[in-house]
């Protein structure tokens, strides 16, 4: 499907150090070492309710990875999905008496306008689950043929499941112990208590058609995709068997990224699926994770309609480190707007080249996207009236996506 329009990105002329990122699978900050073309997959939205500032925070965090690699001279192959058929979307459409396809289309359009307002560089491939059903069917077929997938012991609905023992590596991406995995699987769309599976944690690959549910004709039986195979198929078919970064919010560490990686590895025979498993912390509102199911939400579109500068929203999202769970508040946005105004006043100024400041700014970003440190370098640069503006403003625009003009 169509992504959104790209923002202009000024060129960065200085050589950049390797980008280091925290990798969940090893629990350490390590250098990313992409080839000429970096490959990144970031899990996209499930379009059943307006995209909120938590989603925006996650996509802005990965936008910094995207922008850094571009500025470092890599081409970037970036794939993002849209889970445009899944239980929460179908349940919401049913509750509200609307067609699930109309609900999805409306929410995807809102997401596109939020991403455009926030100057997030669009993915190279933006792919809906519905568009990828054929790819999922092929992948499930191969997993069945190799013995990595099996039919659950259920006469009415012998759905297809994945045997987590297949790769010999299940659990490495999250590093969680079994009780934690069982608890999270139950909370996040899994079905550990379904009878007839080989292991409680085996995830669904293909759900056979139930009355009233959308389904597609397939040699493996009419049905619809499981969640994790959707991302594995979309990623492997566009980026190949191994990628540099698999990304998303920390709520996707388990079961989603663990299972997607296991599916991809069982299918392609290559391990590890991703060089880095990168996870953004959760935005909170009123002391709890912002989430569609809790309803404690702040929206980019509402903030912008109320007069907020999208660049100030970006600065507010970058004020704390991307990996920390962090609160959203009006006060945070107001402080970001004040900072932004100071930087903008400095951007037009003549003066000495801010070489040391530029080096520290870039070094902070290269160190696991340490934006709190990078932003404090900008505060000091703006404060020091002797330093020139234009070059710093271009670098900030290219790497942070914040336009100081």
| Residues of this chain that bind Zn ion (CB under 5 A) | 43, 231
* Closest separation in Å from C-beta 110 to ligand 5CA: 12
Strands 283-285 and 274-280: unpaired
Instruction: Examine residue 221 and tell whether it contacts ligand 5CA (CB under 6 A).
Output: no
Q: What is the dihedral of CA 231, 40, 46, 144, to 10 degrees?
A: 0
Angle of helix 53-71 versus helix 310-318 axis, rounded to 10: 80
Region from 43-51, 71-79, 92-100, 355-363 binding ligand 5CA, contact rule CB under 6 A: 43-51
Nearer residue to ligand 5CA within complex by CB, 267 or 361: 267
User: Which partner from the list ligand 5CA, Zn ion, none does 290 bind, CB cut-off 5 to 8 Å by kind?
Assistant: ligand 5CA
Nearer residue to ligand 5CA within complex by CB, 45 or 164: 45
SS3 5: coil
Using only C-alpha atoms, the chain has a radius of gyration, in whole angstroms, of 22
Instruction: Examine residue 24 and tell whether it contacts ligand 5CA (CB under 6 A).
Output: no
SS3 275: strand
Instruction: Examine residue 58 and tell whether it contacts ligand 5CA (CB under 6 A).
Output: yes
Name which of residues 261 to 280 contact ligand 5CA (CB under 6 A): 280
Instruction: Examine residue 229 and tell whether it contacts ligand 5CA (CB under 6 A).
Output: no
Q: For 165-292, where are the E strands, in sequence order?
A: 204-208, 223-225, 243-249, 274-280, 283-285, 288-289
Instruction: Examine residue 60 and tell whether it contacts ligand 5CA (CB under 6 A).
Output: no
Instruction: Examine residue 289 and tell whether it contacts ligand 5CA (CB under 6 A).
Output: yes
Closest-CB residue for ligand 5CA?
249
SS3 208: strand
Q: Which helix (H) or strand (E) holds 128?
A: strand 125-128
Instruction: Examine residue 84 and tell whether it contacts ligand 5CA (CB under 6 A).
Output: no
Can you read off the two tokens belonging to residue 339? 């900072």
Read off the DSSP letter of residue 368.
T
Footprint on this chain of ligand 5CA (rule: CB under 6 A) = 43-46, 54-55, 57-58, 81, 83, 231, 248-249, 251-252, 280, 282-283, 289-291
């Amino acid at each position: 499907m169509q992504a959104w329009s790209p923002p202009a990105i000024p060129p960065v002329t200085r050589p950049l150090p390797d980008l280091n990122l925290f990798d969940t699978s090893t629990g350490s900050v390590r250098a990313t070492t992409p080839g000429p073309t970096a490959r990144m997959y970031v899990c996209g939205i499930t379009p059943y309710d307006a995209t909120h500032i938590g989603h925006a925070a996650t996509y802005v965090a990965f936008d910094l990875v995207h922008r850094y690699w571009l500025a470092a001279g890599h081409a970037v192959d970036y794939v993002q999905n849209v889970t445009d058929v899944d239980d929460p979307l179908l349940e919401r459409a049913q509750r509200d008496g609307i067609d699930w396809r109309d609900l999805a289309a409306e929410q995807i359009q809102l997401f596109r306008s939020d991403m455009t307002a926030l100057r997030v560089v669009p993915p190279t491939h933006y792919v809906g689950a519905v568009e990828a059903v054929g790819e999922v069917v092929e992948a499930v077929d191969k997993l069945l043929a190799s013995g990595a997938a099996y039919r659950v012991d259920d006469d009415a609905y012998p759905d297809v499941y994945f045997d987590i023992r297949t790769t010999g590596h299940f659990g490495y991406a999250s590093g969680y112990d079994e009780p934690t995995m069982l608890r999270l699987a139950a909370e996040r769309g899994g079905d550990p208590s379904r009878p007839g599976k080989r292991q409680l944690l085996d995830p669904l690959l293909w759900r056979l058609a139930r009355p009233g549910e959308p389904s597609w004709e397939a040699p493996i039986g009419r049905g619809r995709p499981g969640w994790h195979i959707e991302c594995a198929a979309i990623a492997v078919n566009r980026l190949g068997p191994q990628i540099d970064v698999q990304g998303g919010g920390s709520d996707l560490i388990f079961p989603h990224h663990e299972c997607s990686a296991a599916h991809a590895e069982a299918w392609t025979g290559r391990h590890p699926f991703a060089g880095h498993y990168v996870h953004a912390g959760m935005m909170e509102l009123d002391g709890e994770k912002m989430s569609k199911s809790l309803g404690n939400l702040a929206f980019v579109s509402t903030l912008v309609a109320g007069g907020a500068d999208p660049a100030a929203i970006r600065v507010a999202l970058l004020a704390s480190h991307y990996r920390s769970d962090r609160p959203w508040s009006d006060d945070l946005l107001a402080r970001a707007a004040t900072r932004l105004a100071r930087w903008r006043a400095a951007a037009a100024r003549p003066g000495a080249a801010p070489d040391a400041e530029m080096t520290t700014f870039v070094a902070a970003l290269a160190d696991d996207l340490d934006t709190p440190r990078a932003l404090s370098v900008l505060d000091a640069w703006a404060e020091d009236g002797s330093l020139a503006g234009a070059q710093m403003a271009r670098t900030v625009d290219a790497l942070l996506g914040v336009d100081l003009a």
